[in-house]
Amino acid sequence: MTGAFPGEIVTEVEGRVGRIRLNRPRQLHALNTAMCDAMLRALDDWANDPEVEAVAIDHLASPDGDPKLSRGFCAGGDIRMLADSGAADGVAARAFFFTEYRLNHRLFTYAKPTVAFMDGITMGGGVGISQPCRFRVATQNTRFAMPETAIGLFPDVGGGWYLSRLPGRIGRYLALTGHRLDGGELMALGLATHFISSQRLDEAKAAILTDPQGIEAALDALAEPVPAADILTHSDAIDRLFASDTLEDVFAALEADGGPFATETLATLRTKSPQAMKVSLKLLLESETIGTFEDEMRMEYAVASRVVQRHDFAEGVRAVIVDKDNAPRWSAASPDAVSDHLIDQIFAPLPDADAWSPA
């Protein structure tokens, strides 16, 4: 591969639009602390700049045109760094979460119009920087998921807030299974505001640069028929099978059903961390009634700061990302081996001196 990248994040003002462009293609634009910090600084600079009327977030393609390096909007966070830090003192991991969550909150509360182009893999950290935006564009290439239970983590970056507010029990299903959604499904669930072919994104971006106050009209004009949302064909089953916020009940319902969808789903859940799944269920239950997104971030930071130093996270990263044997040895072999007391400890608020706070 030839060519040099100007930086892992490119922030620039073009016309009257502040542009944030992810530029870490070999890692599918996964976020690290420096990238989150650079985005925060740019958003702060533009917030009070009258020359900047809107903000657009996308990713740069590989300069060599390698399609394998151009298929991700943002695949998440720098998981290896988090695992290495968690196995030690956890300081770097906590610093990352602290900064990333400030970025998520800043976007959520940003006064100027924001638009994210979710063209390609949008997972974890990519969800965190796209979902707070006022306009969220999906394409035929979009693959959206919160797959954290596979590595002993949980759907953070506001995942509790977004997933708990989806119709019925679909959020629980997505949080536990890590199921991938396509562009049509994102539209059906309200996680995307527009569906536009990737071939017309340059046209959409050019229109926004021309008229930053006309983002909605520009996207409306380019929107295409939305594909059918396959997940909705299972919505009744999901509502029934995931009706409980107790993981043991979910497993029991899936086992008792015995149908193809339930059997496949149960097989998927048996590969995930029981601890992570219990954390995820409690997160969504708490998030349903939490007062503000700031409160959400504060809760998620407390949970993340503890989970990142527990065995299941290190083991999940080893099995899925490092050794790639996909044979994790979880700290608990089944849901009933994870105590409510442990989950309560993970969710306990941090002391004020250690707690997360907005920028």
Domain-wise residue ranges, the chain: 9-347
**Residue 338, Cα to own-chain centre: how many angstroms?**
25
Report percent pLDDT > 70 for the chain. Answer: 96
User: How confident is the model over 107-124, as a mean pLDDT?
Assistant: 97
Report d(CA 95, CA 93) in Å as an integer.
5
What burial class does residue 324 get, using C-beta atoms within 10 Å of its C-beta: 0-12 exposed, 13-18 middle, 19+ buried? exposed
Residues labelled as active-site residues: 77, 125, 148, 156
> What is the dotted CATH code of the domain comprising 9-347?
3.90.226.10
The token pair at 167 is 């119709």
pLDDT tens for each residue of 150-187: 999 999 999 999 999 999 999 999 999 999 999 999 99
Find the angle CA(157)-CA(117)-CA(287) to the nearest 5 degrees.
Answer: 25
Q: Is pLDDT of 65 > 70?
A: no
Q: Is pLDDT of 74 > 60?
A: yes
Backbone angles phi, psi at 121, to 5 degrees: -65, 125
Question: What is residue 6's predicted lDDT score, i.e. its pLDDT?
Answer: 54
- CA Rg value for the chain: 20
pLDDT tens for each residue of 297-336: 999 999 999 999 999 999 999 999 999 999 999 999 999 9
Question: What is residue 87's predicted lDDT score, i.e. its pLDDT?
Answer: 94
* Strand order from edge to edge, sheet including 121-123: 72-74, 121-123, 143-145
Per the prediction, the chain carries an average pLDDT of 95
